[in-house]
Structure 1
Amino acid sequence: MAIIPMKQTVIRVRTTGDEWEGTQTTDRTALKCRVQEGAKLVRTSTTAANTTGIQASEVVSNAQIYLDKLADVALTDKFEYTNELGVTLTWAPITIEIKRDVGGKPMLTIVYV
């Protein structure tokens, strides 16, 4: 059982393969979640080509997607969410955070979009 109610659904769109070779496929998977809309300041870390170390930047997240335990999500995925007004929003992840309990087991995956 999830630590917070997961009464909403988000669709994870994962694209694999190469568009130029004609091997590109798209997988659409519905995931139970909780979406919290609202701006939040998020710190991301990236590695750029020809630089030493990791560069950090602060960006504003429009929403947070809470998924139960360790969810199969990646930074290359896209997320589609239809809110209560029937408006469909498409987001790309900014960063993914895994919350763990004292024993190290994953309890929650948070995707900042």
Structure 2
Amino acid sequence: VTAREFGRMQFQPDLCADVPIVALVGDPGERSDGRGDPGEQYEAFEDLLADEPMTGTVAADPASPALIAFTSGTTRDPKGVIHSHQTLSCETRQLLENYPPDRGRQLTA
């Protein structure tokens, strides 16, 4: 979870009980997932930006999960929507077709 004060943080411990933590990003002391010390495995967002960019590419199955986007639950309970690498690739292509790089920077998640 990378958003501060995400409205459904209380669900995270149950949803992710068996999922190992890879990295926590945010401000120290604000961790509210109930999974241990607030400083444990913490990485500041600024530190991530300071690292050198990755070089090369990593092979991935287009159908494999790339990210989970959590809905706000406006029509029912909040839920995670799994997006594949192929989905993200198609979205990126559509954005580039409609908003060429010379029109300014775009960000999508």
Q: TM-score w.r.t. structure 1 length?
A: 0.27
User: Which structure would you say has the larger Rg?
Assistant: 2
Q: TM-score w.r.t. structure 2 length?
A: 0.28
Q: Which has the higher helix share?
A: 2
Q: Which has the higher strand share?
A: 1
Structure of higher RCO (CA pairs closer than 8 Å, 6+ residues apart): 1
